[in-house]
Homo-oligomer: A and B are copies of this chain.
Amino acid sequence: MKEFELIRKYFSERGPKRKDVVLGVGDDAALTRVPQDKLLVIATDSMVENTHFFPDTSPRSIGHRCLAVNLSDFAAMGAEPAWASVAITLPTVDEAWIEEFANGLFEVAEYCNVQIVGGDTTQGPLAVTVCLKGFVPENKVLLRSGAKAGDWIYVTGSLGDSALTVASKLNKINVPAGLLAQAEQKFNFPVARLAAGQVLRRAATSAIDISDGLIQDLSHILTASKVSAEIDVASLPISSAVTASLDEDSAIVMALIGGEDYELLFTLPEEQKGYLEQNATAMGVDFTCIGQIRGGDNGISLVKAGDKYPTPNMNGYQHFSSEEN
């Protein structure tokens, strides 16, 4: 396992060196300092070959995504990331692979000022588990449980690119090459909406990141907040690659149930609409109002041009699925 020792050193000598890290890689555990009056935030996500990525996925994308999906959980809570532990399981030591994986990982780590403080390197089937730690002020954390009847429902960015990429890879949909490249970029290199999370923690009543698909993730908010929702499917910010590749109804379904877009879904009281507009630039991403929270426990009602719209079959594109936290 000398080779794995080298890998660990490779990873331990790159990326941001934060002042709140007392001891990084190299002892039995890492030691860090959490600011007073802040809560520690902890998120964990695994990525496993053939479940979360295809065997031909570039190692740079795997390195990028394994950190980005955890950062997306932080964005959804309005939290600030700080330190990550990276556990990698590799069948063999392929230096070119490791270099590209590290490039993808550290591009994201540098951008978000996250220090890799430890982890584990083992031999076995290809998989990566990242445990991300950071902090949030206790009275400003964004939870899933605060949505109130009357709140407006928003989503950042656009929807469906990741589902389109997966469907194309599985030869279920024929996507024009230029549009596919655009969708693949979103799937392979998702950008966590951290700036938006920071803005929203002063205004939104609830938030979640869209990893399992809009309908499924909205359901999590509704269950936690004990409310219902009405979504106008005509207002969904569907990715242009999706609308160009599918008929209208199929595109709507893909935007509703496609996973892994890592956009934020949030609820906003009427009186905070002005604040959101004023801070549109600070959000760092477009946002779209797609519906409204209702009382009761009636789940999600879909409408289009005032008429009821059918609820899609939830198993449509869920080939790659993940359970979070």
A83 to B41, CA, bound (A): 11
Task: Give the total of A residues in contact with B, Cβ under 8 Å.
Answer: 69
Contact in complex: B118, A43 (CB < 8 Å):
yes
CB 8 Å contact bits of A161-184 with B (1 = contact, 0 = none): 000000000000000000000000
In the assembled complex, 25 residue pairs joining A and B whose CB atoms fall closer than 8 Å, in A order, are: A22-B39, A23-B143, A27-B144, A27-B145, A28-B74, A28-B77, A28-B208, A28-B324, A29-B42, A29-B79, A29-B325, A30-B42, A31-B42, A31-B136, A32-B40, A33-B40, A40-B40, A46-B87, A48-B123, A49-B124, A51-B123, A120-B129, A120-B322, A120-B325, A125-B125
Q: Bound state CA distance, A89 and B121, in angstroms? A: 16
Q: Which residues does chain B contribute within 8 Å of A25, judged by CB atoms?
A: 325
Number of copies: 2
Residue of B with least CB distance to A35: B34
In the complex the two chains form, what is the Cα distance from A29 to B211 in whole Å? Answer: 13
The residue in chain B whose Cβ has the minimal distance to the Cβ of A118 is: B325
How close is A3's CB to chain B, nearest CB, in angstroms?
A: 10
> What is A's interface to B at a CB cutoff of 8 Å?
1, 4-5, 8, 22-23, 25-34, 36, 39-52, 73-74, 76-77, 79, 83, 85, 87, 89, 117-125, 127, 129, 131-133, 136, 138, 141, 143-145, 208-209, 224, 318, 321-325
